[in-house]
Amino acid sequence: MTAGNSRVARVRIDLHTHSRASDGTDTPAELVRAAARAGLDVLAITDHDTADGWVEAAAAATEVGITLVPGMEISTIHYGRSVHLLAYLPDPTSPALADELTRVLAGRESRVPEMLDRLRGLGIEISADDVRAASHGAAATGRPHVADALVTLGVVADRTEAFDRFLGAGRTAYVHRYAAPLEATIRAVTEAGGVSVIAHPWGRGGLGRPDETTLTQLHAVGLAGIEVDHQDHDAAARARLRELARDIGLVATGSSDYHGTGKVDHELGCNTTDPAEYERLMALAAEAAVRSDRVPPVVTYGPATGTA
């Protein structure tokens, strides 16, 4: 069989997306169908701190013929700094991981009433029902849903304004919440038979940038990779992070961090992961699965992949 260059299609891989199971605006099935329309071959669903969207997304992936990697984005903390940790293919019922997820989700849920109290103190009447209506049945209600309720009530124009004026760290209605310790969470993901990748390590929202020393230490704990290509990173940050990944031996990923209409400038496939890096990540996940005593979830293979 001859391989004409014109027939070589580049596999397009997006490993960081959100559905309504957390703060995206698409249902998991809509997310998968949108990914197929966007020409993606491989999609990871990575809702915040939950595996709730996995089953629906996998069914849709089989229908539309794309590969689906089950994942999640865990809210962690490292030396006082907020770090988002992407976990791919972990067994979410693995005890250490399940404990942390329960604590994170409970923390998110419990701060909503306090945020509503503070908004009330500012003269903005917004009820728990308004927030629940805005959450469309998400695993836990949180700030993005309060923001959406503020938009619905006409208090602000969009989520960005809601965070800038009220809900962002240090703003008038901000309430601190629980985050899982980073190193323990990396270990918990490994024990659960999965692999972890730090999301947007030099992005907005964090209080600093993990440097070479920190990333080397985290790699020793079991960190598999870092998200290099993300909209929060400019060209210089991407170049430096790619260099760090290569020097330390971390996988370098690229993803959209798509939230549907919940986040502008994060269209599906706006950043993608190099197929070779994806293969490395999946190989590490396979090793972790073998070493763990868990039965991790599986990748749903669409017929369109693995043939490029």
Select the span of 106-114, 211-219, 257-265, 300-308 touching Zn ion (CB under 5 A): 257-265
- Would you say 12 or 84 has its CB closer to Zn ion? 84
Measured between alpha carbons, how far is 148 from 157 in angstroms, rounded to an integer?
10
Measured between alpha carbons, how far is 109 from 171 in angstroms, rounded to an integer?
19
Between residue 95 and residue 154, which ones bind Zn ion under the rule CB under 5 A? none
Select the span of 143-151, 164-172, 197-205, 242-250 touching Zn ion (CB under 5 A): 197-205
What ranges in the chain are assigned the alpha helix state H? 28-37, 54-64, 95-121, 128-135, 143-152, 159-162, 182-191, 212-221, 235-248, 275-291
Contact status, residue 19 vs residue 61, Cβ threshold 8 Å: no
42 half-sphere exposure, CB direction, 13 A CA radius: 27
Q: Rule CB under 5 A: choose which of 199, 226, 241, 244 binds Zn ion.
A: 199
- Would you say 84 or 294 has its CB closer to Zn ion? 84
Select the span of 35-43, 81-89, 166-174, 265-273 touching Zn ion (CB under 5 A): 81-89
Amino acid at 79: Y
Contact status, residue 68 vs residue 43, Cβ threshold 8 Å: yes
Q: Does 23 bind Zn ion (CB under 5 A)?
A: no
Q: How far is the CB of 200 from Zn ion (least distance, A)?
A: 6
303 half-sphere exposure, CB direction, 13 A CA radius: 4
Measured between alpha carbons, how far is 32 from 110 in angstroms, rounded to an integer?
31
Q: Does 257 bind Zn ion (CB under 5 A)?
A: yes
Contact status, residue 72 vs residue 50, Cβ threshold 8 Å: yes
Q: How far is the CB of 266 from Zn ion (least distance, A)?
A: 9
Measured between alpha carbons, how far is 196 from 199 in angstroms, rounded to an integer?
9
Q: Write out the two tokens for 67.
A: 């590969």
Q: Write out the two tokens for 122.
A: 């500012």
| Binding-site string for Zn ion from residue 175 to residue 194, where x marks contact by CB under 5 A and - marks none | --------------------
Between residue 61 and residue 80, which ones bind Zn ion under the rule CB under 5 A? 73
CA distances from 238 to 99, 217, 271 (A): 34, 20, 11
- Would you say 176 or 204 has its CB closer to Zn ion? 204
Q: How far is the CB of 16 from Zn ion (least distance, A)?
A: 6
Q: Write out the two tokens for 146.
A: 């309060």
Select the span of 54-62, 195-203, 285-293, 294-302 touching Zn ion (CB under 5 A): 195-203
Q: Rule CB under 5 A: choose which of 12, 20, 84, 143 binds Zn ion.
A: 84
Q: How far is the CB of 135 from Zn ion (least distance, A)?
A: 17
Contact status, residue 262 vs residue 24, Cβ threshold 8 Å: yes
Q: How far is the CB of 199 from Zn ion (least distance, A)?
A: 5
- Would you say 105 or 289 has its CB closer to Zn ion? 105
- Would you say 56 or 257 has its CB closer to Zn ion? 257
Q: How far is the CB of 298 from Zn ion (least distance, A)?
A: 23
Q: Does 266 bind Zn ion (CB under 5 A)?
A: no
Binding stretches for Zn ion (CB under 5 A): 73, 84, 199, 257
